[in-house]
Amino acid sequence: MKKGDYIFILLVILFIITRVFIVTSTNNNWGAEECYVGTMANEIAHGTGLSWYEMPFAEYQLGGVVDAYLSSIFYNLGLINGYELKIIPIIYSTIAFIFFYLLTRRFYSKFVNYTASSIFILAPGMFLWMNVINGTGDFLSSIMYTIIAFYILLIIKEKNKGPIWWGLLGLVYGFGFLNNHGVALSLPLVFGFLIIEFKISKKMFKRAGIFVLGFLTGSIPLGIFRIFYNISELNHLFGSFSKISITHFIKKIITITFKEFILSFKSYPILNYTYFALFSISFIICVASIIQKVKKEGFNGLEIKHSFPIGIIILFFLAYSISSFGDVFRELAAGQESNPFYYLIMYPFFFILVAVAIQKLLFKKGVLRIIGTIILVGLLTSGGISLNQKIYPLSLFRVKYAPYCYNGIMDLGGQKGESNYFSSPGQIFHFRWNSNSGRLDSTLPFSLCAKLHSVQRQEECYQIVEYYFNKNNQTIPEYKGK
């Protein structure tokens, strides 16, 4: 093996060690949605009566179902008591890191490769936390599939690969979209590349058609779920972009750029502002460099390895600003912050831009070289501090509840309240009926409860469904069993 291979293996081992440390440390964190994935995984392991299309936590993605089926393997094996839920996210994040390392090694300089990979390992607190969380909107898998897609796209460009590779790229995007719709964020960049590379020609249409076919193939289960079981979500998805206003756009883009993006790092205040400053400076340096190159060489100077990371960041801020995504979280938090998970898909591409910017500065003389050194040391130090930081220290979801990770009406700490019902099957089944109440029979939540694998779980589920009917002043329908 070459020296670079040993370094690669060493970094992968270091990556896994840091993630295992986060899981097993005293600052170990659990998520409420993660516990629902755990519940479904246990149901599958015990022989549930639920079908796959009855399991999704949310209406907008099927990633939680994929996670549940994969996690059920480890519940069946029973090898890691209390940590079964953590294996799949660590596998996902490790795959993401491996592809990230491979693409930066192959298409960037050695300095960018090692620097970006080190920042990925010692990342901001929120990114570290998401690396070990199962489910929770499947933002982690969206990061993994986007990185893999970027890697394939770079290979297509480098080797001038034919239609089959475009089909593979579409397949990755399709399956990623099935897990989390955020994967679609970079699709305009893919089609933009097609147009620039092949102009409007038969070659372009052929590759575009094969790409779309691959996309549709990868997302077949999602299409079945949407058409036959959850058509209302399409209205919600399109509705998120249907009420666009200039006022909303201006107000939101200012808020998310100068407030929510800073808070999304979920670190100590001084580190949040440090990350924001370093990411912003690096972004500006890279954009300025591309503009300068395009002025000299035209579109031939628009290298995809630099334009894709910049493009996905710009697209995120534009798409997020013109849509209503995240608005409900902002309202619930009284304007303090939105959902920090949304921002995570940009982080790996910021890591690349930061590494590229530092390299540019280090090759300069005097003050600029000092600035580059400060950015590099500052980022890695901040990441090291984040390793031992509490992001969401929820005492409800410590290790002792993880083997089943079912928080139905469990008496935690001697108190029962609405928070104890959160993410339980009864709640999710009721919400699913509520969001589709125009076309689904109101006994649906009870019929789904009846499919749980044990009488105890069924009874808990019934009680929670009744609780939500009463809470929402809805008439409790008569249910006569399976």
Q: What is the pLDDT of residue 420?
A: 46
Region 12-40 average pLDDT: 79
Give the closest residue to 20 by CA, choosing from 80, 90, 82: 90
Higher pLDDT, 383 or 50: 50
Percent of the chain topping pLDDT 70 = 78
Judged against a pLDDT cut of 70, whether residue 391 lies above it is answered with no
Tell whether pTM > 0.75: yes
Least confident of 222-231, 270-279, 382-391, 393-402: 393-402
Higher pLDDT, 432 or 369: 432
Judged against a pLDDT cut of 50, whether residue 132 lies above it is answered with yes
pLDDT in tens, 65-119: 999 999 899 888 866 666 778 899 999 999 999 999 999 999 999 999 999 999 9
Q: How confident is the model at residue 326 (pLDDT cuts 50, 70, 90)?
A: low
Mean pLDDT taken over the chain = 81
- Angstrom distance (rounded) from CA 88 to CA 136: 13
Q: Taking the domains of the chain in order of start, what are their residue ranges? A: 3-386, 407-471
Percent of the chain topping pLDDT 90 = 33
8 A C-beta contact, residue 421 and residue 467: yes
Region 400-407 average pLDDT: 45
